[in-house]
Amino acid sequence: MRLIFYTLVIFAIYWLIRSLLKPKPKKKINSQLPPQIEDELVKDPMCGIYIPKQKAITAKIGGKVYYFCSQRCKEEYTKQQEVKK
């Protein structure tokens, strides 16, 4: 009975040491494919921050579309453009 117990303990220690020393498999990176662009970045004319085009708040001012990071930037920029007129 002791022999079976000691054999199991030795096997468990062997398995633990082997799993700790085993090199981890490296992730393969396919460098042949170019990175995929999910969205275009646009610059907020008010604060200068670049934001994804899909998440931007838009405003058409003077026939041109502008992209903003927030409603606040949009309102401030619109007010500035009205003052310039």
Per-residue pLDDT of the chain (85 residues; tens, 9 = 90+): 888 888 999 999 999 888 888 777 777 666 676 667 778 999 999 999 999 999 999 999 889 999 999 999 999 999 998 887 6
- Name the phi and psi angles at 10, rounded to 5: -65, -40
**Cβ count near 29 (within 10 Å):** 7
Task: Give the helix ranges, DSSP H, for the chain.
Answer: 2-21, 71-84
In whole angstroms, what is the distance from residue 69 CA to residue 46 CA? 9
Model confidence pTM above 0.75: no
Tell whether the torsion through CA atoms of 53, 54, 55 and 61 is positive or negative.
Answer: positive
CA 27 to each of CA 23, 35, 63, 75: distance values in angstroms, whole numbers, following the listed order: 12, 17, 49, 47
